[in-house]
Amino acid sequence: MSKVGFALALLLWSTGCKATTWVVGATEKTKHIKEAIALAQPGDTLIIKPGIYREGNLILQKPLIIKGEDYPVLDGENQFEIFTIHADNVVLTGLKFINTGIASINDLAAIKLLESSRVKITNNKFENTFFGIYLANSSHVWIEENELRANAESEHQIGNGIHLWKCNHITIHKNKVKGHRDGIYFEFVTNSLITQNHSEGNMRYGLHFMFSHNDEYRDNTFANNGAGVAVMYTKAVTMVRNTFIHNWGSSAYGLLLKDIRDSEISNNAFVENSVGIFMEGSSRNNIRQNKFYQNGYALRLQASCDDNRITRNNFQQNTFDLVTNGSLVLNTIEANYWDRYEGYDLNKDKTGDVPYRPISIYGTIVERMPQAILLWRSFLVLLLDKAEKAMPVLTPENLMDTSPAMLPYDFN
């Protein structure tokens, strides 16, 4: 359902019954939000004046529009979940949520939405919340332009920023998530759209999803996350124009693809990651027109992957362009630009006349003995690589790009 449709529905519904506006504030007649929720009829609007509201857990079970003025603060006092919503057609906007409780059994959240639909959560701020926005069994929800910040010190002291479980038709747009366990977490979420979000500095993954088919990710940025972005056990995902940047660490990835099928990964930028894309057990994916720049490994293609098409990508200034742990060639690697390519183009068709073998013997050595990384850029490694290029012994002979591009592609 589109936004316009939703607004129209609201309008129709609100004109059906008479809607009242309730103002909540320290100097108003209604001093507590809880009170206002109890008094209000479905479809009413609550205006929350600036101030600090310590009201424990607010349970909302009727359709209301709740608006904050100048970000009134809803304080969970480090022990409560703030909003628990079980109602359709709810709008939450302009609120600031702080200090939810921390619990290892219940997933306490600033906003928890259960079995609801047609809900909008926009322009809210979240500070030091265990879970920020938590959705379960919901559909048609808009989560837009929220800001979530947490400063946890270890993974088990903190929940996820935006957490979705068994949902569908969700739009997540222009949110900023920082310092949570996973920035955005999906499990069994389908037919959803995730655009222009910024997920940075989260303890584990910037984006983490499993069993979430037919979703689309566009124009998001995932930076400096503990382990990058991990996506698993999913089919038909579209990931376009996202930026994966600076995900450093011993087990960090720009993007980890595990059991991903029939998906499209295009026009993304992978910059300064330990591993640009790590692929495992994935098939029939289309990886094209991505930019791999200054990564440790641009692409780690495990032998369990097949029928993937890796075409027209730019590989520039990566330590290793491609490594694999097998010798079979089951994927198509074609027409990429490799900055290490030293071939020539006699017929001037902008395609190199000799194939390029992106796997270096040194990469293979480092795969087996990580300490050998210390010899990177040494004369010895240079000689080894040249010798191997001339006569492949250890690297799979047929793994090559038969039509390497002479110049980098311009994707802008």
Partner 1 sequence: MVRIIKYVFYDLLRTRFILFYTAFLLVCTFAFFQLDGDFGKVVLSLLNIMLMAVPLVSVVFSTIHFFNSYEFIELMLAQPVNRKSVFLSEYLAVASSLSLAFVAGVGLPFLLYGAWQPVATLMVTGVFLTWVFVSLAFFASVLTRDKAKAIGVALLFWFYFSLIYDGLLLWVIYTFSDYPLEKLTLSLIALNPIDLARIVMILQLDISALMGYTGAFYKNFFGSNLGILFSVSLLLLWIVLPMILAMRIFNKKDL
Burial level of 2, CB count in 10 A (0-12/13-18/19+)? exposed
Q: In angstroms, give the least distance from the CB of 274 to partner 1.
A: 4
Give 376 or 398: the residue with its C-beta nearer to partner 1.
Answer: 376
Whether 146 and 127 have beta carbons less than 8 Å apart is answered as no
Identify whether the C-beta of residue 408 lies closer than 8 Å to the C-beta of residue 314. yes
- Identify which of residues 1 and 383 has a Cβ nearer to partner 1 in the complex: 383
Q: Say whether residue 377 binds partner 1 (CB under 8 A).
A: yes
Token reading at 194:
């995730």
Residue whose CB is less far from partner 1, 109 or 275: 275
- The label of the residue with tokens 């609007």 reads 45
* 379 binding partner 1? (CB under 8 A): yes
Q: Binding string, 258-287, against partner 1, x = CB under 8 A? A: --------------xxx-------------
φ, ψ at 270 (rounded to 5°): -115, 110
Under rule CB under 8 A, residue 369 binds partner 1 = yes
Examine residue 23 and tell whether it contacts partner 1 (CB under 8 A). no
**Per rule CB under 8 A, is residue 4 in the interface with partner 1?**
no
Q: What is the rounded distance in angstroms from the CA atom of residue 172 to the CA atom of residue 195?
A: 6
How far apart CA 334 and CA 178 sit, in angstroms, is: 37
- Burial (0-12, 13-18, 19+ Cβ within 10 Å), 355: middle
Interaction between residue 21 and partner 1 (CB under 8 A): no
Query: Please, what is the minimum distance in Å from the beta carbon of residue 175 to partner 1?
Result: 29
- Asked if residues 309 and 331 have their Cβ atoms less than 8 Å apart, the reply is yes
CB-wise, 60 or 229, nearer to partner 1? Answer: 229
394 binds partner 1 (CB under 8 A): no
Task: For residues 244 and 272, give the distance between their C-alpha atoms in angstroms, rounded to a whole number.
Answer: 8
- Are the CB atoms for 171 and 186 separated by under 8 Å? no
Stretch that binds partner 1, among 90-98, 169-177, 307-315, 377-385 (CB under 8 A): 377-385
- Of the candidates 117, 295, 331, 360, which one interacts with partner 1 according to CB under 8 A? 295
If binding is defined by CB under 8 A, does position 387 make contact with partner 1?
no
Contact in structure between 232 and 238 (CB atoms under 8 Å): no
Structural contact between residues 158 and 152, judged by C-beta atoms closer than 8 angstroms: yes
> Which uninterrupted H or E stretch holds 107?
none
Whether 244 and 265 have beta carbons less than 8 Å apart is answered as no
Site stretch for partner 1 (CB under 8 A), options 51-59, 68-76, 214-222, 370-378: 370-378
Comparison of 126 and 297: residue with beta carbon closer to partner 1: 297
Residue 303 is a binding residue for partner 1 (CB under 8 A): no
Is residue 318 at the binding interface for partner 1, with CB under 8 A as the rule?
yes
Strand partners, 170: 141
- Which residue of 105, 346, 374, 391 would you call a contact of partner 1, by CB under 8 A? 374
Task: Give yes or no for residue 383 binding partner 1 (CB under 8 A).
Answer: yes
Kindly state whether residue 325 participates in binding partner 1, applying the rule CB under 8 A: no
Name the residues that contact partner 1, by CB under 8 A: 248-252, 272-274, 294-296, 317-319, 365, 368-383
